[in-house]
Amino acid sequence: MRVVFLDRDGVINKNAKDFYVLEWKDFEFMPGIIEAIKLLNERKIPVYIVSNQSAVGRGLMTMDELKHINDQMLKEITKKGAHIDDIFICPHSPEDNCDCRKPKTGLFKQAEDKYDIDFKDSWFIGDSETDIEAGKKMGCRTHLLKKGEDIIKVIRKII
């Protein structure tokens, strides 16, 4: 199955001023992202979020607080007629040296354990080199989203 993986911070939402989105009030969708997700939904291409969320591992927020933010994000996306199929999160700090923190591939392997994914036909869109490195390690096609780049145009090119 072909899927599109999206990073969260910097792709779905703007990065917070203080680097971490710690509360829902600090969450701001990137321009065009919901419309881009709708395009994928219309083509029946599953959309999975793979995201490092080290604020949890650093003790800046709890998993429940992160879940609340993600639940609100999903609610808002659904209200606008789109949907995310699943979310895979690494809550660890870089010092934990876990297998799920990008650029390692643990989050993708969690997705692979749950779904039948054709990684060679799938895409990962991220905003950092570690995102791109992780996607390439799994055999995905990748796109490094540049600041101000039109995500709708990117999605139209890959579908």
- Residues 40-83: pLDDT tens digits? 999 999 999 999 999 999 999 999 999 999 999 999 999 999 99
- Enumerate the β-bridge partners of residue 143: 125
At the fourth CATH level, the homologous superfamily of domain 4-158 is HAD superfamily/HAD-like (3.40.50.1000)
Phi (first) and psi of residue 97, to 5 degrees: 50, 45
Confidence of residue 19 (pLDDT cuts 50, 70, 90): confident
pTM above 0.85, yes or no: yes
Greater confidence (18 vs 85) lies with 85
Neighbouring CB atoms inside 10 A of 17's CB total 8
Which residues form the catalytic set?
Answer: 7, 9
- Residues 96-124: pLDDT tens digits? 999 999 999 999 999 999 999 999 999 99
Lay out the sheet containing 141-144: strands in order across. Answer: 86-90, 47-52, 4-6, 123-126, 141-144
Tokens read off for 28: 């701001």
Task: End-to-end CA distance of the chain: give it in Å, rounded.
Answer: 14
